[in-house]
Structure 1
Amino acid sequence: MSTFPKPPEPNFIQVLNWVFRPMPYMVECARKYGDLFALKLQSNLPPLLFVHSPEAMQQVLSNDQKELEAPGEINSIFEYLLGKNSVITISGKAHQRQRQLMMPSFHGERMRNYAELIENITTKNINKQPKSKSFNVRNVAQEITLQVMMEAVFGIYEGERAEKLEHLLFEILEQGSTPWRVIFLYFPKLKKMFGISEIWNRQMKKQEEADKLIYQEIEERRANFDPHRTDILNLLMSARDEDGQAMTDQELRDELITLLVAGHETTATAISWALYWIHKLPEVREKLLAELDSLGDNFDCNTIFKLPYLTAVCNETLRIYPVGMLTFPRRVKSPISVAGYQLEPGTIVMGSIYLAHRREDIYPEPEKFKPERFLERQFSPYEFLPFGGGARRCLGLAFAQFEMKLVLAKIVKTWSMKLVNTQEIKPQRRGLVTGPNAPINLLIENVRSPKSSHIITTEKTVV
């Protein structure tokens, strides 16, 4: 049996490092141990193996159902939030079924339906910001992405239920984003401690209230089904598997929450980082403005999606500080050699997206924000993988990219802003993902054009 390189400190110290400083900890381990190292993070599981070379990533991510599998039960620690029927917490045929039911809802052509919605929500939220003082970019980006989720995914636009559900979902996601909440996942017995148990119970009560509203919406929509609606909930309700079966109410609830958790915080954070770099580096902003201004005042959403420099800015944002640090874990089914080590059945391995994106042999000067690197060469799916890879690759990646590009194009083209921060902003853990370690503050200086730039939707497909 192979002995894997691993830190010498006790398991408890490894967990604390992982919860409170995961990115520096991974960098330290990679420097000491190379392309593969082990961490003991869960008492009921063997040590987790981390890999980050493109070769190892390809072996791990392209081997589903062969030497390696992507078991949903390893993600069972997320069931308290996502449910037992989430595409993240199930595996095998059940996982394949759910993906097949959900995939058509995220087909590129359907994204066009949401272009005007995204533009209007962005305009409304930026116009609410004070003109004489700075605002927290991440707070605004969260408002934008949550409202887009509420309307494009849940199909809930206004009224008491919409307001209450939006408020509850925001609180649930915010409270679940602290490192202390992550500790509960690795030390579940803490939930029973006096004081901490009350905090946990309040969180669960809010989730129950949100679930009640979601189930009410599903019940009403089933009773008064409108086939002409284009929101994702409607599309999921219409989907049928190969046996002609639709999703149950529980499955719909779990997938809606999964889409919210996977698509709200992540996209908001990516938009925030992009606006930080665009306004921190004048040369980046100038190049992006030149590209956007060449489109005139009315620009088609398909054209925006394909803009080379905007795409490069988004990709470099997702590379330098990826919102998701890791791929989903894989479990070895039959012996396989990875990164020079023999992995036996039962071994759990995961790819470090953060480390893969910072390899100097692939990305020279990895600490520098250089969109041009994505114009100079094309990276493989195992070198650049902000949405994961293989059978567990993010279902909503097309939606996330579409939303990110439209929001950035609208903001940068319409408003002239200045970055107020003077200190360097770095990433830190934010719940299950990452985020800035300090508020990113922008100040609106003026509106760039008296004409309001407007996104139009004349093309038939978004690729």
Structure 2
Amino acid sequence: MKLPQGPQTPAIVQMLQWIARPMPYMEECAKKYGDIFTLHLSFPILFVSHPQAIQQILTSDNKDFTAPSRANQLFAPLLGKNSVITLEGEPHFRQRQLITPPFHGERMKTYTEVITKITESVMGQWRIGQSVDARAAMQAITMRVIMQAVFGLHEGERAEELERLLAIMLEEGGSSPLRAALLYIPILQQDLGTWYPWGRFLRRRQRVNELIYAEIRERRAQADTSRTDILSLLMAAQDENGVGMTDEELRDELMTLLTAGHETTATALAWALYWIHKFPEVKEKLLAELDTVPDKSDLNTLLKLPYLNAVCNETLRIYPVAMLTFPRSVKNTLTLSGHELQPGTLVMGAIYLTHQREDLYPNPKQFRPERFLERQYSPYEFVPFGGGARRCVGTAFAQLEMKLVLATILSSLNLDLATKGDILPRRRGLVTGPDRVIELVVQGQRQVKTSLLEKVSS
């Protein structure tokens, strides 16, 4: 079978390029080979960036494409074999149905006060003149939100230890190209003791599992139908046959929600704070809009503010945390972007490349929220949360959290960007993040007539 063109360098060289410099490497390949090209990363995989091709892939889930276990197993060491990310076929569909309801509709309003109070608590530790590491601060917020909204844990030894271990695991997992290589090259996944990164990861994972299973056992023994945290809702969820999740399935979905909902949202928030404070005109327009929110407005008013929405979207566009859609495997012979593909061919939507297309986003390297006020982009042109059968389940939660946290911080404090020069994206594990610290300085309080918490909870 003849695959679309791609680099002719040895597979190991392509793998190292992909691990060390994924975004420049994709851009170089797109410039040379066009909208579809092949990389050899342990196995051949097609990168696709044209919106029409992405639409064909995402709208043909379960018909012409399926999830390839060999590619999605990259996530298995952390998330487990029962995660909605690592499962395929009917088991994936079942798990998705079970975990989706807590992230939609009126359920979202129950998390509003949690997010806002946690943000205000973290901000309360900042002092005038203090430098704040934006990403670390956002990680503190999103981790506590996860612990309370998802796990239902507010305080206590178990909550503290679980929060500490999870933060270490996620931070170390994306701290260097070597640790990323551990995920892509299975032969490196050896337990050589605590001196070796994989050995430390396995021991921390074991302790995290012990803590999560202990919490699940206690919840089952002391059922409380009044609880609204996501773990309690998942424990009560049943499929069409009246069967709920096993302890192992619950553990794997909790780890999935943590990984997908903590690190990614924290990174997006850090980027947003960077862009807002890098361009004074963006900050000025956003503050002017936030200050118009009526004292008795409901949550929907905040979430529908056009410029706040545009700032969030442009943040997710320019340097998307997820570079790619989840991989798909061709089920039936088909034509994609003029290429006939045989069953078993692996394809991925290159989100980063799509978001950098000049024909969609003129001057794509420029941060310009106004583009989202001037044009309505399709779900195949703007794809920060993926799409199809594997679109991020927590999309609504992430958008709610991002807007609430930004609105709370910006309405309360005057901040300045202390980091000089441009900050660029780099790989962090399987996702992306800033290549250095985004440092903000607290200049003082903003005078706001009504606190945002009163606005969104009224």
For the aligned pair, the TM-score class normalised by the smaller chain equals over 0.9
- Residue 242 of structure 1 and its aligned partner are, at CA, apart by 0.2
> What's the secondary structure of 1:349's corresponding residue?
strand
Contact 1:69–1:330 under 8 Å retained in 2: yes
Question: Which aligned pairs between 1:94-113 and structure 2 lie closer than 5 A?
Answer: 94-113=91-110
Whole-Å Cα distance in 2 between the matches of residues 368 and 332 of structure 1? 36
Change in Cα spacing, 1:231 to 1:174, as seen in structure 2 (3 Å) is same
Whole-Å Cα distance in 2 between the matches of residues 232 and 282 of structure 1? 38
**Partner residue in 1 for 2:28:** 28
Whole-Å Cα distance in 2 between the matches of residues 173 and 284 of structure 1? 31
Deviation >4 Å, runs of 4+: 193-197, 296-299, 457-460
**Partner residue in 1 for 2:376:** 378
TM-score when scaled to structure 1? 0.96
> What's the secondary structure of 1:39's corresponding residue?
strand
Q: Which moved more, 1:101-110 or 1:399-408?
A: 101-110
Whole-Å Cα distance in 1 between the matches of residues 133 and 374 of structure 2? 33
Match of 1:303 among 295, 301, 304: 301
**Partner residue in 2 for 1:11:** 11
Whole-Å Cα distance in 1 between the matches of residues 358 and 89 of structure 2? 36
- Residue 436 of structure 1 and its aligned partner are, at CA, apart by 0.4
**Partner residue in 1 for 2:213:** 215
Change in Cα spacing, 1:359 to 1:163, as seen in structure 2 (3 Å) is same
Q: Which moved more, 1:17-26 or 1:59-68?
A: 59-68
1:157 aligns with 2:148: no
Match of 1:200 among 198, 201, 220: 198
Match of 2:121 among 119, 124, 129: 124
- Give me the identity figure in percent: 57
**Partner residue in 2 for 1:144:** 141
Whole-Å Cα distance in 1 between the matches of residues 151 and 160 of structure 2? 13
Deviations 1:54-104 (A, max 9, x none): 011011111112121123453112211101100001011100000101111
**Partner residue in 1 for 2:430:** 432
Contact 2:327–2:347 under 8 Å retained in 1: yes
**Partner residue in 2 for 1:40:** 40
Question: Which aligned pairs between 1:25-424 and structure 2 lie closer than 5 A?
Answer: 25-42=25-42, 45=43, 47-178=44-175, 179-192=177-190, 198-296=196-294, 299-424=297-422
> What's the secondary structure of 1:143's corresponding residue?
helix
Whole-Å Cα distance in 2 between the matches of residues 345 and 21 of structure 1? 30
**Partner residue in 1 for 2:2:** 2
Amino acid at match of 1:164: E
> What's the secondary structure of 1:86's corresponding residue?
coil
- Residue 127 of structure 1 and its aligned partner are, at CA, apart by 1.7
Contact 2:182–2:198 under 8 Å retained in 1: no
> What's the secondary structure of 1:131's corresponding residue?
coil
Whole-Å Cα distance in 2 between the matches of residues 414 and 167 of structure 1? 28
Amino acid at match of 2:361: Y
Whole-Å Cα distance in 2 between the matches of residues 408 and 458 of structure 1? 13
Change in Cα spacing, 1:345 to 1:119, as seen in structure 2 (3 Å) is same
What is the total number of aligned residue pairs between the two structures? 457
Whole-Å Cα distance in 2 between the matches of residues 27 and 266 of structure 1? 22
Whole-Å Cα distance in 2 between the matches of residues 262 and 58 of structure 1? 23
Contact 1:14–1:40 under 8 Å retained in 2: yes
Deviations 1:113-155 (A, max 9, x none): 0111111111111121232231100000000000000000000
Deviations 1:392-437 (A, max 9, x none): 0000000000000000000111111101112100111011110000
- Residue 299 of structure 1 and its aligned partner are, at CA, apart by 4.9
Amino acid at match of 1:182: A
Whole-Å Cα distance in 2 between the matches of residues 93 and 298 of structure 1? 45
Whole-Å Cα distance in 2 between the matches of residues 117 and 319 of structure 1? 27
Whole-Å Cα distance in 1 between the matches of residues 14 and 238 of structure 2? 45
Amino acid at match of 2:58: L
- Residue 296 of structure 1 and its aligned partner are, at CA, apart by 4.6
Whole-Å Cα distance in 2 between the matches of residues 450 and 265 of structure 1? 30
Deviations 1:198-236 (A, max 9, x none): 331121111111110111111111111111111000110
Amino acid at match of 2:123: I
Contact 2:320–2:432 under 8 Å retained in 1: yes
Contact 1:71–1:90 under 8 Å retained in 2: no
**Partner residue in 1 for 2:439:** 441
Contact 1:301–1:455 under 8 Å retained in 2: no
Deviations 1:146-190 (A, max 9, x none): 000000000011011111110011011111113212211222222
Deviations 1:300-341 (A, max 9, x none): 332111111100000000000100000001101111111111
TM-score when scaled to structure 2? 0.97
Change in Cα spacing, 1:3 to 1:100, as seen in structure 2 (3 Å) is closer
- Residue 297 of structure 1 and its aligned partner are, at CA, apart by 5.3
Q: Which runs of 5+ in 2 are unaligned?
A: none
Whole-Å Cα distance in 2 between the matches of residues 334 and 194 of structure 1? 43
> What's the secondary structure of 1:203's corresponding residue?
helix
Contact 1:298–1:453 under 8 Å retained in 2: no
> What's the secondary structure of 2:196's corresponding residue?
helix
Contact 1:108–1:398 under 8 Å retained in 2: no
- Residue 3 of structure 1 and its aligned partner are, at CA, apart by 3.6
Q: Which runs of 5+ in 1 are unaligned?
A: none
Contact 1:299–1:455 under 8 Å retained in 2: no
Contact 2:191–2:202 under 8 Å retained in 1: no
